[in-house]
Amino acid sequence: MATFKEKIGYALGDAAAGGITWKIMSIAFPLFFTNVFGLTFADAATLMLIARMFDVVTDPMMGSLADRTQSRFGTYRPWLIFGAIPFGLIFALLLYTPDFGPVGKRIWAYSLYLLMMAMYTAVNVPYGSLLGVMTDDDNEKNQFSSFRMVGAYAMGFVTLLSFPYLLEFVGGDKEVVNGVERYTVAAQQHQYAVIGAFFGIIAAVGTLACGLLTKERLKPVRAEKFSFKPFADLFKNKPWIILTLIGICTNFFNGFRYAVAGYLFEYCLKGDVTVSGLIINYTVFMTFGELTCMIFGGVSPKFTQWMGSKRKAFIVSAIICLVFSIGFFFIPMDKSMIWVMVALVILTSIGIGLYSPLLWSMYADVADYATEKNGTSSTGLIFSSGTMAQKFGTAISGSLVALFLSLAGASMITDEMGNTSVDPASITDSVLTMVWSLFSLFPAVIALLIIILSWVYPIKK
């Protein structure tokens, strides 16, 4: 029987990875790379595409390697224990802007981003795989998944809510751009560097605590030697194929919304909105969704029991996401409508909160199915596909956001020092419509795909 302490420990793992590092990478990095660090839209899009091709190789390899790890700490926990400090350190460095020229900055961004993806893989694939060896009870798996999602969304709530206030706390010089007072680029670079160090330390501590507080009760049925057969078996595993596509789609859904939120406030709403002393910027805006996901992530196990199966629960959750995503498109682009926008974000997040814990519990079902069918455990390999889907969907959507904004007409200008920044004159109505659509209609199409894929998913638990 798993203890409450273990469930809290397991929650801390995704609080660190999903609630801090991945949340900031998803929502802040697109805007950071183009408007603060100084990459062009093309550079930012290419960076994320290259990183995804890198992950296609590293994630499955990491899953296979984790499955064969043997130590006094277990099979998967040592990756968390010994990977915690490098994980936090590389994240901090990625938010630092070095005083290099354009070429040096590209090298820095590409190198650190790829390192961060590799380190995220080395920590998060074993973390996800832990679910398959902590318990063999299906209800407990759902509970662990629920704790995981609540931990991720609770920390995401804290991270995103505190973000603008931490920026203000760090402070710096300001300037007036198009009649709006903003921090200078140099001040923003300093702010992000400090925030990176702060959250990097918290992420390292949370990851380490997860590794130390959890237990591995089940022994994976290991293959005697390395073989490519488990990789080949995956493509004969219909539940795995469909669930991986669902995982990619769920992360596309979130990826578009998080990647474009900064641009939505920067361009469509002309900056932050202050209501009764509350600063609503793009991170706080998405915080309302994080809080909703945290609440409904906790409700998800009961909701699933009420629906009768994970598959049905997933379909209903995706329908909620579809309906309210479409609704958002018809809200006028005006600061006076901010609370209507918040309401639609909250309603959409009900669906996200309900299906998020289900995805990881369903990966555990697929891992059990594969073990029964093939005779050996490939838990790490199967859970690595979940992590790969997470990174693939989120980063490709971020890359596509940069690409679509460029196609809509957004462009860069270069100053006399060779530094690039967004040309304010290029932000036309077509760019604004593209931003609005990327937050609403694009995710709606993805939600429809999730419904179709969930309908044909064959495991009926």
pLDDT score for 85: 96
- Reading the block at residue 119, the tokens are 């380190």
Q: Among 346-355, 359-368, 410-419, 435-444, which stretch is predicted with the lowest mean pLDDT? A: 410-419
Q: What is the mean pLDDT of residues 444-461?
A: 91
Query: Is 80 exceeded by the pLDDT of residue 399?
Result: no
**Sequence-ordered list of residues with C-beta below 8 angstroms from that of 452, at least 6 positions apart, any chain:** none
Contact between 195 and 165 under an 8 Å Cβ cutoff? The reply is no
* Beta carbons within 8 Å of 354's beta carbon, 6+ residues apart: 296, 297, 299, 300, 303, 313, 316, 317, 320
Segment among 211-220, 264-273, 348-357, 412-421 with least mean pLDDT: 412-421
Helix (H, G, I), strand (E, B) or coil at 331: coil
Give the pLDDT confidence score for residue 6 in this predicted structure.
92
* Token couple for 70: 């043997």
Task: Report percent pLDDT > 70 for the chain.
Answer: 87
- The answer to whether residues 240 and 382 touch, using CB atoms and an 8 Å cutoff, is yes
Q: Worst-scoring range by mean pLDDT, 27-41, 221-235, 395-409? A: 221-235
Residue 124's pLDDT band (cuts 50, 70, 90):
confident
- Residue 224: its pLDDT value, please? 47
User: Is the pLDDT at 235 greater than 90, yes or no?
Assistant: no
- Residue 334 sits at φ, ψ, to 5 deg, of -150, 140
Give CA–CA dist 259/347, Å, rounded: 19
Tokens of 394: 């989120």
State the pLDDT at residue 228.
57
pLDDT in tens, 99-118: 888 889 889 999 998 899 88
Say how far apart CA 367 and CA 371 lie, in whole Å. 6
3-state helix, strand, coil in the chain (%, to 5): 75, 5, 20
| Three-class secondary structure of residue 99 per DSSP | coil
Model pTM above 0.75: no
What average pLDDT score do residues 95-99 get?
92
Which of 370, 82, 59, 359 has its CA nearest to residue 220?
370
Measured CA distances, 320 to 157, 218, 337, 352 (Å): 21, 37, 21, 9
* Mean pLDDT in residue range 356-382: 72
Residue range 296-324: mean pLDDT, rounded? 90
Most confident segment among 49-53, 212-216, 346-350, 411-415: 346-350
Q: For residue range 274-306, list pLDDT tens digits in order.
A: 887 777 888 889 889 888 988 888 888 889 889
- How far CA 104 is from CA of 6, 39, 100, 108, 112, in Å, comes to 44, 11, 5, 6, 12
| Averaged pLDDT, 169-197 | 85
Confidence of residue 219 (pLDDT cuts 50, 70, 90): confident
Q: Is the pLDDT of residue 55 over 60?
A: yes
Which has the minimum average pLDDT: 255-264, 382-391, 431-440? 382-391
Q: Examine the pLDDT at 12 and tell me if it is beyond 90.
A: yes
Between the CA of residue 152 and those of 20, 42, 77, 106, 173, what are the distances in Å?
8, 31, 19, 31, 34
Distance CA 402, CA 422 (A): 12
Question: 180: part of which helix (H) or strand (E)?
Answer: strand 180-183
- 26 vs 21: CA distance, rounded Å: 9
Q: Rounded to 5 degrees, what are φ and ψ at 451?
A: -60, -45
Of the candidate ranges 267-276, 417-426, 441-450, 451-460, the one whose mean pLDDT is the lowest: 417-426
| Residue 201 in this model has a pLDDT that exceeds 80 | yes
Report the SS3 class of residue 414.
strand
pLDDT of residue 23: 84
Structure token digits, residue 92: 């901090």
Cα distance between residue 248 and residue 311, in whole Å? 16
Residue bearing the bigger pLDDT, 390 or 326: 326
> What is the predicted pLDDT for the residue at 413?
72
| Lowest mean pLDDT across 200-209, 339-348, 419-428 | 419-428
Mean pLDDT value across residues 12-35: 86
Identify the top-confidence range among 37-41, 288-292, 348-352, 457-461: 348-352
For tokens 């990097």, the residue is 200
